[in-house]
Amino acid sequence: MSIHDWQAIWLSLQVAVLAATLSLPVAIAVAWWLARTHHPLRWLVETVVNLPLVLPPVVTGFLLLVLFSPLGPIGSLLNGLFGVSIVLTWYAAVLAAAIVSFPLAVRAIQVAFQQSDRRLESAARTLGASKWSTFLGVSLPLARHGVLAGWLLAFARSLGEFGATIMVAGNIAGETRTIPLAIYSHVNSADGARYAWPLVLVAILLSCLALIAGGWIERRASRSRSD
């Protein structure tokens, strides 16, 4: 493996961990709202949240590019306030991964909130806990397996993110070139398919690890539910 391959692996892990972690609090809040609300606009929020799941990632990336380019609505704001542009940087790769993996995290956490016994929350309230302490002390710990599973799904999805990333972050070696982009680049160069193999194996290995960890969490969750 070349130094560039190692850079791609390290970059991919950083991007995936950051994307899954930074979006987690938002995912928990949205999942909680979706699990508990009867708001008439619930369907709209749910549709928007799930959109990246079905939208071609390239389209998601294109929209992000439009929004975050220095002349775009959010990009110009960032530029004016902080003098930064995130397009074609490492930050854009994190953003793209976070957006694309967001619905997976929300869904896993939402299911966990829906499956937990709401009477336990009533019990907590009658014991004197406020809504917020009940959420932190009862609802969230009871949904912990779902939260962990959601993080893991987001992490795994972020590792494989390609379309949106290449649109908004580009394919700059050592800067924004994650594992999938590096494999693509190898294959596109002369005699490159041979050099792609190590990264392909790493990608398979990481995916297997994520699946095994996911299965372990699921077994823990179902055991604690059946108790």
Cβ nearer to another protein, comparing 130 with 189:
130
Residues in 78-137 that interact with another protein by CB under 8 A: 117, 119-120, 122-131, 133, 137
Question: Sign of torsion, CA 54 60 63 67?
Answer: positive
Least distance to another protein from the beta carbon of 172, Å? Answer: 46
Separation CA 156–CA 149 (nearest Å): 10
Cα-trace Rg, the chain: 20
| b/e code 96-111 from CB counts within 10 Å (16+ = b) | bbbbbbbbbbbbbbbb
Separation between Cα atoms, residue 220 and residue 117, nearest integer Å: 17
Residue type, 49: V
Of 151, 170, 181, the C-alpha closest to 61 is 170
Report, in Å, the least distance between residue 116 CB and another protein. 10
Could you give the CA distance from residue 148 to residue 145 in angstroms, rounded to a whole number?
A: 5
Q: Which CB, 124 or 152, lies closer to another protein?
A: 124
| Cβ 61 to another protein shortest distance, Å | 40
Contacts of 212 (CB under 8 A, 6+ apart): none
Please select the residue that binds another protein; options are 25, 38, 191, 227, rule is CB under 8 A.
Answer: 227
- CB nearer another protein, residue 145 or residue 186: 145
Residues 195-224 that bind another protein (CB under 8 A): 224
**Binding to another protein by residue 141, rule CB under 8 A?**
yes
C-beta closer to another protein: residue 2 or 122:
122
> Cβ 100 to another protein, closest distance in Å?
32
Q: Residue 137 or 198: which CB sits closer to another protein?
A: 137
Q: In the range 152-191, which residues lie near another protein by CB under 8 A?
A: none
CB of 187 to another protein, least distance (A): 48
Smallest separation (angstroms) from another protein to the CB of 76:
44
Could you give phi then psi for residue 69, rounded to 5 degrees?
-65, 155
Among 45, 19, 16, 47, smallest CA distance to 32 is for 45
Summarize as ranges the residues that interact with another protein (CB under 8 A).
117, 119-120, 122-131, 133, 137-138, 141-142, 144, 224, 227
